[in-house]
Amino acid sequence: MSTAPILAGGEGALPRHVAIIMDGNGRWAKKRFLPRVAGHKAGVEAVRAVSRAARAMGIEALTLYAFSSENWRRPEEEVGDLMGLLRLFIRSDLAELVRENVRLRVIGDFRRFPNDVVALIDDAIARTAGNSGPLLAIALNYGGQAELTNAARRLAERAAAGALDPAAIDAGMIEAELDTHDLPPLDLLIRTSGEHRLSNFLLWQAAYAELLFVDTLWPDFGVAELEAAVADFARRQRRFGGL
């Protein structure tokens, strides 16, 4: 689905593809003297609110950074809590996604997750595969560097087998090997919680995306905050290296 970017911007422009680094659940809980899992639970509620708002606004694709390849470094108990919340989200929200004609996509190596979680994800993807509406992509055990490494390895293997001329490799070929090959070009990348880094998220895809860093902790990021982010995007002029 990915195509070359179209010059866009100015009042009224709507991003086709929005990605969000959902950061700040732990700090949200700490401010309220609650365990970290309470922040993650509140973060799931924010996922519901923002994904519904994105659909209502006409955003074609929403990608959410839910579990990075580095998140395995967190305490085992917290990783277990996150797996439990993922199970709960799929079981409780899948019917709505099917009803709302949403196509669920997962980017990243989610097959490292527990077998029952993998089965739930596979079932959710299969049950929404025939939908023709907006895309909801969830990044699970995802890392941008690993994604690029895997893409380069696959192209190198084809070249070594004589099926590909190395001189013919271009950006389009690399993009076709990425997890996001069937998503629209990334227009707007938002990070919550006041941090100003990409944290290994969509490194290739963010090359010409508009970046927005907000202080709001993820559980407090809702409809109004998404609308403000889209309004900010609409005021920007995107030149993609041109004038």
φ, ψ at 162 (rounded to 5°): 85, 10
Helices (H), 101-218: 115-128, 144-160, 171-176
Q: What span, in angstroms and rounded, lies between the C-alpha atoms of 177 and 181?
A: 7
User: What pTM does this model have?
Assistant: 0.92
Is 23 labeled as catalytic in the residue annotation? yes
Contacts of 230 (CB under 8 A, 6+ apart): 14, 15, 18, 57, 59, 188
Q: Does 197 carry a binding-site annotation?
A: yes
Task: Consult the annotation and say whether 143 binds a ligand.
Answer: no
- What is the pLDDT, as a whole number, of residue 238? 84
Write down the catalytic residue from 71, 131, 150, 200. 71
CATH 3.75.10.10 fits 17-235, yes or no: no
Q: What mean pLDDT is reported for the chain?
A: 93
- 71: annotated active-site residue: yes
Bigger pLDDT: 1 vs 36? 36
Residue 243 pLDDT: 62
* Confidence grade of residue 5 (pLDDT, cut at 50, 70, 90): very low
For residue range 166-205, list pLDDT tens digits in order: 999 999 999 999 999 999 999 999 999 999 999 999 999 9
CB 228 within 8 A of CB 8: no
* Residues recorded for the chain: 243
The CA-atom distances, in angstroms, between 60 and each of 160, 165, 179, 196 are: 38, 35, 17, 25
